[in-house]
Amino acid sequence: MSTVIETGEQPSLRPERTPTGRRVLMCRPEYFTVVYRINPWMNPAEPTDTSVALEQWQALYDTYLRLGYDIELIDPIEGLPDMVYAANGGFVVDGIAYGAKFTYPERQPEGPAYMDWFRRAGFDVRAPREVNEGEGDFLLVGDTILAGTGFRSDSLSHVELGSIFGREVVTLRLVDPSFYHLDTAVAVLDPTPGREHIAYLPTAFDAESLAVLQQRFPDAILVNETDAAVLGLNSFSDGYNVVIASRATDFERQLREHGYNPIGVDLSELLLGGGGVKCCTLELRS
């Protein structure tokens, strides 16, 4: 179950935050297990429990329902255990869906499966030429796309991304293999133009990228290593409600101090595959 903890802090002292509607794509973890290792979180020798993964995923789904989100579902495919991490399936802005082209062979069939869903849903689908892992490495903040590279998405995909969407793309290089996707090291708290606000883990980036983040987002929340290690930054926000890993307790405190309403969920079973809240959530922007 998700939890919402009230605080005695005076509302008048908090920045005003406004929730906006969200439409998301998710995939039930019916075939979730860890049978290969493509990131430091995965260990095939460590047991996984698909039924627990399903229960935890359902709690996330139910949380989104209570928040009024419009939720679409893609059918899981047997033999693709990581398909639950829907964020990696593409990047959708302005009704255009830029498909994913996965780095590792184990996940490569997911790309066409997600693009097929986008087509059926009426999106303008653009098949990728360059290796990229969708919203795992592409985050929309205002009119700018923050784009991660270093482990999964090739920096050439950033050029392709910019040509497709006609938006500024800012390349950020990840250097810690535990934070191999941008959405494990950066949380977009408010993407609204003029109110852009993020949280991030400074040590996940090289010096040049860290300087870019510091210059562009001087009011960002800096998250500690402990909370990042439970994928606390792998969260999903509507501008007010922020669904986070329930064990990211200091991040929860920081969010409250900045006027947000953090909602904790337990996705510890899915963490065994290297994913959290945001990994399970692909935003569909018309």
Question: From CA 119, how far away is CA 116, in angstroms rounded?
Answer: 5
Would you call 280 a catalytic residue per the annotation? no
SS3 letters across the chain: CCECCCCCCCHHHCCCCCCCCCEEEECCCCCCCCCCCCCCCCCCCCCCCHHHHHHHHHHHHHHHHHCCCEEEECCCCCCCHHHHCHHHHEEEECCEEEECECCCCCCCCHHHHHHHHHHHCCCEEECCCCCECHHHCEEEECCEEEEEECCCCCCHHHHHHHHHHCCEEEEEEECCCCCCCHHHCEEEEECCCCCCEEEECHHHECHHHHHHHHHHCCCCEECCHHHHCCCCCCCEECCCEEEEECCCHHHHHHHHHCCCEEEEECCHHHHCCCCCCHHHCEEECC
Would you call 279 a catalytic residue per the annotation? yes
What values do phi and psi take at 61, rounded to 5? -55, -45
Instruction: Please tell me the total number of residues recorded for the chain in this structure.
Output: 286
Catalytic residue among 158, 197, 258, 279: 279
Catalytic residue among 27, 158, 181, 258: 181
Residues with active-site annotation? 181, 279
